[in-house]
Structures are given as C-alpha cells and as structure tokens.
Amino acid sequence: MSDPRVVVVTGASGGVGRAVARRFGARGDRVALLARGEKGLDAAADEITRAGGRAMPLPVDVADFDAVDAAAAKAESELGPIDIWVNTAFSSVFAAFGDIRPEEFRRVTEVSYLGYVYGTRAALSRMKPRDRGTIVQVGSALAYRGIPLQTAYCGAKHAIQGFNEALRCELLHSGSGVRTTMVQLPAVNTPQFTWLRSRLRRHAQPVPPIYQPEVAAQAIVYAADHPRRREYWVGASTAGTLLANAVAPGILDRYLARTGVDSQQTDQPHDPDAPGNLWQPADGERGHDYGAHGEFDDRAKPRSLQVWASQHHGLLGAAGAAVLALGALGIGAARR
C-alpha cells in the first residue's frame, strides 16, 4: 500500500462526495472534508476515522473563494501538502427555465461552476510550486448533453467541461507535473433528489438507469490514481448518451423533448414551495445526516461492468488480440 496522501473533497457531507471521502479514508489517507452542512461533515469524519483514515471537517461555502482558500491553507497546515483535490460540490434547481429566478440561477452557477473554479485555484496555487498533484473534476453526462428541467445544472457542467479542457492545455503547454482529469457520471442515487430546490409538482428522480454512489466513488478514486487520461466515463448509460450525442444530437433533442420531463419525476406529489438547500444546507436546517445514498436503493445498480472495462483497456486489448490470434490459428489449421 502506498503512503497515506492528503486529499481534499468538496461536497463531502453527502452523496457522491461522501462516498468518495469514505473510500479515500478507508485506505488510510488524510482527508479534508469541505461542505456547508456540519451534521453531514461530522458524520463523514467519523466514518473515515473508524475506517482507519484521518479526517478534518471544514465547514465552508465553495461559492466563497476566500473561504475555500483559507480551508486549503488550514488543511495543509494540519494534514500536510495536498496531493489530490476532488471537486464535487454542487446545488441546483429542478424547474423549467422560466420558473428559475435570476438570483437562483446565479446561486447555482456560483456553487456548481465557480465552486469548481475556486477549488481548482486553491489547489493549483499550492500544487504548481511543488510541480505535483492531481485535481479531479466530477462531471456528468450532462456536461455534454443538456436535458429539460436542468438548465442551471447543465449550464454549470458544460462550463466545467470547457474550463477543465482549457486548464489542461495550459498545464501541458507549461510542462507542469500537476494533472487534471474529469469523471463524467451517470444518474446516481444520492440525497440531491430529496434536498435540492424543486418547483416541480411531482417528486424529482434520477433518469434510469441509476447507480449507487459507491460506483461513482470507485471511478473517481481510480481517476485520482491515474490522472493522465483526460476523462473517464462511468456507466453504460453515460457512454451511450455521449456517443449518441456526438453522432445525432438533433435526434436526442427530440427524444428528450418527449421523454425528459416525465422521466425525471415520480408519481409522488411534491410541494413546489419547499425551500430546498440552495441557500442553506439541508442537514444544518433539519439537523439530519443524509449520508451518501438517496431514496432509490431498490432501483440502483451496485456495480458497472463498463467502469471495470474502462479501467482495463490493456487487458481487454490483449484478450482481444489473443482471441483473434487463436481464431487465425484455427482457420489456418482448418485449411490445412
């Protein structure tokens, strides 16, 4: 096992960020946990400690650069130089574009896009002088493919995609030893569908197929360990969506226009005036630790063959070559 590393995870109080922090902690890493909700942060820190890692909960709003930079400084002063920074904190509003108020759209953008920019800046200012370190941007299939009811979130994810590509080019140009990579996720069973601001009259849900957050966490930790690849796709649905969007985006526009609204809602009623966690952390307001999982455990997949395959290109290539070679030998023997 490698020496423990110092890892910062934003959005670590719940959902994918919680699962990622837990996975790093389970292998003995020192993990700084950044999020607003102190209840979730304390619970995540306890999980990491019990798993054998060291945790430092740091309550912070990622939309505040000075606060993020101060958290990075505190993490380094107590845990050591940051080796890995994972950006995954976000917020959103489930609603048609016309139903999202300008101040809400701005807030989603500040958290879900600028939060990544600020986290990256805080990490890079410390990593570049040392000429080492890895930054992982947690994205989504929605970084390429917009869907109805999520204009604010899709806009932020598209922005992260462009930002990360531009930054990667700059790092390559300068010959920097700092790496940045992006992980595009599918629909994941997280508490976001319980705590996000929603103006829908039916309860929001992820578009099936749904994966457990541990599937995402496995891929994100792997990306942090193997950051030379520019991007990782998680789940067959992500791969299929991105490939289809590259070939026939107009057809997907029409398909999602017909199916995208209903597929993101259950049959259960929802109060469109419920405040959600856009302005205040859900666990702070209600005093409840939401954990990593949402309410769709009975429908969520605990593993993904596509993730395994994407991490074993060499093995699959060798196996394919062996099959072709054996086939050629068989054909040759049959001819003889």
Residue 324's pLDDT band (boundaries 50, 70, 90)? low
Q: Name the pLDDT band for 311 (thresholds 50, 70, 90).
A: confident
Whether 328 shows a pLDDT value over 80: the answer reads: no
- pLDDT at 322 > cutoff 90: no
**Domains defined along the chain, listed by start:** 6-303 (3.40.50.720)
Tokens representing 217? Answer: 């966490």
Among 9-18, 185-194, 301-310, whose mean pLDDT is lowest? 301-310
What pLDDT, on the 0 to 100 scale, is given for residue 130? 98
Helix (H) or strand (E) holding 299: none
What CA–CA distances, in Å, run from 27 to 3, 14, 217, 224? Answer: 10, 19, 13, 14
Mean pLDDT calculated for residue range 19-37: 97
Q: Is-contact 16 88, C-beta < 8 A?
A: yes
Residue 32: pLDDT over 80 = yes
Mean pLDDT of 39-47: 96
- Name the residue among 216, 79, 71, 231 with its Cα closest to residue 143: 231
Question: Residue type at 156?
Answer: A
Q: Cα dihedral sign for 25, 280, 152, 263?
A: positive
Task: At 205, give phi and psi (nearest 5°).
Answer: -145, 155
Q: Which among 118, 153, 211, 222 is annotated as catalytic? A: 153
| Least confident residue range of 188-192, 248-252, 322-326 | 322-326
- Which residue, among 91, 166, 167, has the nearest Cα to 135 in the 3D structure? 167
Residue 282's pLDDT band (cuts 50, 70, 90): confident
The per-residue pLDDT for 122 is 98
Q: What is the dihedral of CA 218, 220, 226, 228, to 10 degrees?
A: 150
Task: Decide the pairing of beta strands 6-10 and 84-87.
Answer: parallel
Q: What is the mean pLDDT of residues 202-219?
A: 96
Give the pLDDT confidence score for residue 308 in this predicted structure.
75
Confidence grade of residue 335 (pLDDT, cut at 50, 70, 90) = low
Considering only 38-47, 56-65, 134-143, 314-323, which range has the smallest mean pLDDT? Answer: 314-323
pLDDT at 53 exceeding the cut of 90 = yes
**What is the reported pLDDT for 317?**
55
What is the distance between the alpha carbons of residues 262 and 202, in angstroms, rounded to a whole number?
Answer: 9
Among 72-81, 222-231, 305-314, where is mean pLDDT lowest? 305-314
Give pLDDT, residue 326: 60
- Tell me which H or E stretch contains 135: strand 134-140
Q: Count H helices and E strands in the chain, helices first.
A: 13, 14
Is the pLDDT at 327 greater than 60? The verdict is no
Give the pLDDT confidence score for residue 330 in this predicted structure: 57
pLDDT of residue 72: 98
pLDDT > 70? residue 170: yes
Work out the mean pLDDT of the chain and round it to a whole number: 92
Q: Which is more confidently placed, 3 or 315?
A: 3
What local confidence, expressed as pLDDT, does residue 285 receive?
55
DSSP state of 208: S
Cα–Cα distance measured from residue 288 to residue 167, given in angstroms and rounded to the nearest whole number: 38
Sheet holding 210-211, edge to edge: 187-188, 210-211, 300-301
Distances (CA, A) of 305 to 42, 261, 300, 312: 33, 28, 14, 11
Task: State the pLDDT at residue 4.
Answer: 92
Residue 118 appears among annotated catalytic residues: no
